Structure 1
Amino acid sequence: MPVSTSQECDLTFYTNPQSRGQIARWMLEEVGAEYRQEVLEYYTSMKSEEYLKINPMGKVPAIVHRGKVVTECAAICAYLADVFPQAGLAPPIDDRSDYYRWLFFSAGPLEAAIVDRSLKVNIKPDQEAMVGYGNYDRVLDVLSAQLLKSAYVAGERFTAADVYVGSHVLWGLQFGSMDMRPGFEDYAAKLAERPAFKAAKLIDEQLIADSEREKSKE
């Protein structure tokens, strides 16, 4: 496994297994990078003075690679694809229009629409221009149309954009925060079979199990 116990490792991954850190871990597994993990807890170590120097937002995930800090899942995915080009997870620079478009469509309109709906925020028709994503149904319909056009969200090959977009679709369908649309189920099933996805899930599931075991002893 790429997870390292060496303090000399030049990539440190700050996460919690029950967070969006699962997205970043999947990406780390896809690029095959060796990394040292630091598992933080909500409200305590995640808000520590030491960690706030890395991410003043006090949230995970974050990575520190050769002294450089990257936060926000979409940025972490794009960064790792660039600094580990041998993994082939970013298209050639002159063919990145769909890659960037759908990576940040999911970081913006898709996530905002899903969160608002989950929080039961009712966006009225005359407020749609203000929220940026218009409305929830339109966002899902637009993503559905794209996923029906090609094997992956940015074309015929898997890229870092699929790690980010795919995580939203996988979680959305699993937890009911996204309604089903044509293309969603097949896309999610295809991504769930990737060895890196399975490896990442196994690590996080073990961390969750270990945490629950420790809590039961208290």
Structure 2
Amino acid sequence: MTAKLTFYTNPMSRGRIARWMLEETGAPYETEYLSFGGAMKSADYKAVNPMGKVPAIRHGDKVVTECAAICAYLADAFPEAGLAPPTDKRGSYYRWMFFAAGPLEMAVVNNALGFQIPEDKLRMAGCGRMSDVMETLEAAVSASPYIAGDRFSAADVYVGSHIGWGIGFGTIEKRPAFLDYWGRVSEREAYKRANALDDAQMPKQAG
């Protein structure tokens, strides 16, 4: 029997990344929508994620939180979807997925909040300068059709989501390389399905 897969989310959250990944796997799953500050901070949900944040998934008796971890887990849990390279060819796959989870997200959030890391403290920050992060990301998405090579993978779900959100909210520059890459990955049917599902819930889950 296939293990039950439950997805905890709110459409106004990073849960959209996990939703896209779930749709890419093609696996059946149930969705539980949680309100901010209410159900998300309840004792029941904190038993799933003590941080009281979404997204999270429960797959059988396994719980996974954090978007990059969810993407990597689902790629391995449903290998038939072909969303991860062979284990001996995962260098770029892991590298860029966790570059987005670390330096990219840190740099973008700091910049959006108006926080500039002092020059004499740059070595303490994993992201370094925002300009360095953007140049590195631009080179990465320009090197091949997809972030880990010639085939789409879970790393594209994660990296692509960061770029798409950044372009949409003005936190990442609209460089031609970013626009080209985002245009390519956002044409996937799984992305369109995921986006439609979350958009349909926006009026209901805005609280």
Q: What range is the shorter-chain TM-score in?
A: over 0.9
Q: Which aligned pairs between 1:103-182 and structure 2 lie closer than 5 A? A: 103-182=97-176
1:181, distance to aligned residue in structure 2 (A): 2.8
Q: Quick one: distance in 2 between partners of 1:44 and 1:113? A: 30
* Counterpart selection for 1:192 from 172, 186, 191: 186
Name the % identity. Answer: 55
Kept in 1, the 8 Å contact 2:97–2:158? The answer is yes
Task: Indicate the residue corresponding to 1:19 in structure 2.
Answer: 13
List per-residue Cα deviations over 1:112-151 (Å, max 9, x = no partner): 0000001111112111111111110100100101111100
CA contact (8 A) 1:144 1:182 kept: no
Question: What is the TM-score of this pair, normalised by structure 1?
Answer: 0.92
Q: Unaligned stretches of 5+ in structure 2? A: none
The match for 1:30 is 24
Moved >6 Å (runs of 4+): none
Determine the structure 1 residue equivalent to 2:82: 88
TM-score by length of 2: 0.97
Contact (CA 8 Å) 1:81, 1:160: kept in 2 or not? yes
Q: CA RMSD in A?
A: 1.3
How many pairs are equivalent? Answer: 206
Quick one: distance in 2 between partners of 1:195 and 1:182?
A: 23
CA offsets per residue over residues 141-170 of structure 1, 9 Å max, x none?
Answer: 001011111001110110000000000000
Find 2:69's aligned residue among 75, 82, 102.
75
Structure with larger RCO (C-alpha < 8 A, sep 6+): 2
Answering whether residue 99 of structure 2 is matched by residue 102 of structure 1, we say: no
- Report the secondary structure of 1:91's partner residue: coil
Does the CA contact (< 8 Å) of 1:102 and 1:165 recur in 2? yes
